[in-house]
Each structure stands twice: as structure tokens, then as C-alpha cells.
Structure 1
Amino acid sequence: MNNPSTLKAQGSKPRQNREARQQHILDATLRCVRRSGFHGASMSHIAAEAKMSVGVIYRYFANKEAIIEAIVANDLAEMRAKFAEWENLPDDVLLDTLLDTLEMAVEHKYTGDNAALALEVLAEAARNPRVAAIVENADTQERELGRSLCRRLMPAGSEAQMAARGEIIGMIFDGMMIRAISNPAIDRKALLAELRHVMRVLFTMPAGPQD
């Protein structure tokens, strides 16, 4: 009789192989998009970069939009994991922990390749409704994750106020991608010090009156 654990391991191997191939294709796509832009990264170029045939690529992804969707999904999965860590923190250390992660966030946003890729996807979203839907859906999920933290840090704020502050925070971090291209030589140490101050204000200052 077959050992159940052995059968489970055998059953998971094809899935692991498939996931590994999908990730290999995603990595090849990232390199192509960074090098040639979204439109320049054709499926044939992606296949060549991945050292696979175009037909094999299509077994895993129906089109480039599906590849972009998978890339965005990977980013969301990483974000959910980080938010899950924060959700388990006591309230009295939550803010300081968030502020401590800003250095990593700034480093990520100001990395030229990361900024270029994100801007390529956003530019494509501005003219491609399918990519726009992917980006909008991801943004909705990110805002929901952020709102749960805002409720803990600013319990007296209204939903509208928390949504507005979350939008401002999104504007700051999304704007970093543009600044990473426009002003890559910024003094990041000074930037980080001021950013910590701004974020502390956004997370803790009592909400102002609403009209």
C-alpha cells in the first residue's frame, strides 16, 4: 500500500513544477518590460528571454495582460503577508513598527528597475482597459488592507477621513516612483527623516472638521 505522505508529495510535485515555470516566465517578462517597455515586450521576446517556445508560454498565460495580472498578484501576496504581521502587533508598538519599515519602502520605490516597471504598467493601464481593471482591483485591495491599520491608529476618525488619509499616503508612495526617475540622487537619509515625521502626523493627528 502506498504511504499517504508519499502520495501527497507526488501530487504536489507537478504543482511545484508548474508554479516554478510560471515564476520563470514572470521573471523573464519583468526583464523584457524593463528593457523594452510593455509594448516592446512581445510574447516572442518573452519566450526567447525565458528560453521557451511561444506555445509553452501560452500554456501558462493567455496573453500579456494575464502575465501582468500574475505580477500584480505576487506583489499583493507579499503585501498581505506584511499586513498580517502588523495585524498581530500590539497597538502600542504598531506605529513605531510601521515607521521602521519606511527605510525599506523608500529603498524599494527608489530602485530604478522597480520604478520603471511600475510606471510601465501604469502607463499601459491608462490606455488598456484590461490592464486598468487589474490595477484598479489591486488598488482597492491595498486600500482595504491599509484601512484596517488606520482604524487602529486613528479610531476616532470617520470612514471618509481614513479613506482620505489613506489616499494621501498612496499619493506619497506612488509619487516616489516618479521622483526615483526625476531625482534619483535625492538625499535619502534626509528624505527618510522627514517622511517619518509626515507619516506620524498622518497616522496620529486628530481628524479635522468635515464640511
Structure 2
Amino acid sequence: MTHKSKRHADPALVEARRTQVLDAAADCFRRKGYHGAGMAEIARTAGMSAGHIYNYFESKEAIIESIIEQDMQEMFSIFQEFEEQPGDILTILLGSLHKGVQRHMDTGACVIDLDMMAEAARNNKVATLLHEADTQARDRMRQLLISDRSLLKSHSEQELDSRINVIFSMMAGLFLRKMLYPELTEETVLIALRPAMKTLLMPFEVHDEVL
């Protein structure tokens, strides 16, 4: 992904201003949705003039692109932590499951994700960006599952893809459940999600023996 902005003498200031705009945009998208939040509204929330904001982002679509890139960088950081932790992949992923549940039940953060998904249905560029992010997330997950520390390292590509897609679907669906059932808690979800995830991260033929 690339960004077009005017040249500035101080790269640190540019980055600070871009972050300021992205934070303001995220706040506006949460409150008003993608289409309800115009560049003027984002500029006001960021404490900038409407003209000033274009020094850092040429359009609202460019802001969405940067938000998706931020999410990707956060995802890469999480996978990097998984890869650097000692021990088997099953233990590492199950030990971090509560963090994933927290993130996917955060209605403030996820409402932006949902809005971007809706935008992707009518905006090919946003759809392409989200598809790229999903592809990279699945690739990183696949690398974990075929590593020497994984019980699934010898499984076929088709089976790994099936398991990864089911895992991602379960996690992504938590936001919708939280929206429809606000009383839902992380602890309640983990009662069923932890054994379900354990099943998906183990060879089916040895699952009963291990459990």
C-alpha cells in the first residue's frame, strides 16, 4: 500500500499528524459511519482545517487504506509474537485466545470493520484492500500451522485452509453476537470456544486420545 502526501521537512511531525487524522477518522466512522463522516467532519475532529488535512491524505478512501494498513501491522505484530514464543503452537494459540476474543468483541473497534465490509460491497478498491489483508492473515496462520511446532504440519493444504477459514469465521462472528446479545461476556464465549479451537488445532484422529 502506498500513500500520497505533500513533502514535509520533519518526518516525525508528518507521522504525528497522520496519526492524529487517523484517530479522528476512526472516531467519526464509529459515530457516523463511512458515508456519514466527510473530510470536513474528520478535519474538525482532528483539530485541523479542511485544507490542511489534504496535506496528509488525498481522500477519505486514502484514510480507509491507512486504517486497513494499521490493522495489518497490528496483525503482523501478533503473529510475530506467536512465532517468537517458545513451545508448541497449540499451547501458544490457546494461551492467547482471550486476547482475540477481547478484540473481536470490542464493539467500538469492530463497528469500523463492519462499516468497511459494507463499503467493500460497493467499492472495488476497498474490497481489494480487505481481500489482501485477509490473504496475508491466512498466509501467516498457515505458516504457523505447518511449522515444526504444530501438530498439523503434515496435513494437506485443503484441510489447513478449511480449518483456518472456520477459525477466522468463528472469531469474526463474535462482534455480531455481541451486537445482538450485549450481555455476552468474554468468559461465556471462552467456555465453548476454547475446546472448539483446541479441536481445530489438533489432528482429528488423535483429538480424543489427547483430551
**TM-score, normalised via structure 2 length:** 0.87
| 1:57 match | 53
| 1:120 match | 115
Once the two structures are overlaid, the 10-residue window that deviates more, 57-66 or 21-30, is 57-66
Match of 1:36 among 29, 32, 46: 32
Cα distance in 2 for residues equivalent to 1:100 and 1:91: 11
| 2:172 match | 174
| 1:183 match | 181
Cα distance in 2 for residues equivalent to 1:23 and 1:74: 10
5 Å matches for 1:14-163?
A: 14-92=10-88, 94-152=89-147, 153=150, 154-163=152-161
Alignment RMSD, CA only?
A: 1.5
CA contact (8 A) 1:115 1:178 kept: no
Higher helix share: 1
| 2:4 match | none
**TM-score, normalised via structure 1 length:** 0.87
CA contact (8 A) 1:109 1:180 kept: no
Cα distance in 1 for residues equivalent to 2:87 and 2:142: 15
Cα distance in 1 for residues equivalent to 2:77 and 2:46: 28
Identity value in percent: 37
Question: Does the residue aligned with 1:186 lie in a helix, a strand or coil?
Answer: coil
Quote how far apart the aligned CAs of 1:96 are: 1.5
| 1:194 match | 192
Question: Which residue identity lines up with residue 117 of structure 1 in the other structure?
Answer: I
Quote how far apart the aligned CAs of 1:91 are: 4.2
Once the two structures are overlaid, the 10-residue window that deviates more, 196-205 or 185-194, is 185-194
Cα distance in 2 for residues equivalent to 1:188 and 1:85: 22
Question: Which residue identity lines up with residue 28 of structure 2 in the other structure?
Answer: C
Question: Which residue identity lines up with residue 64 of structure 2 in the other structure?
Answer: I
Q: Deviations over 1:171-200 (max 9, x none)?
A: 111111211211121243131121111111
Q: Which runs of 5+ in 1 are unaligned?
A: 1-12
Question: Does the residue aligned with 2:146 lie in a helix, a strand or coil?
Answer: helix
Count, aligned residues = 194
Structure 1 91/100 Cα, relative in aligned 2: closer, same or farther at 3 Å? closer
Cα distance in 2 for residues equivalent to 1:144 and 1:133: 16
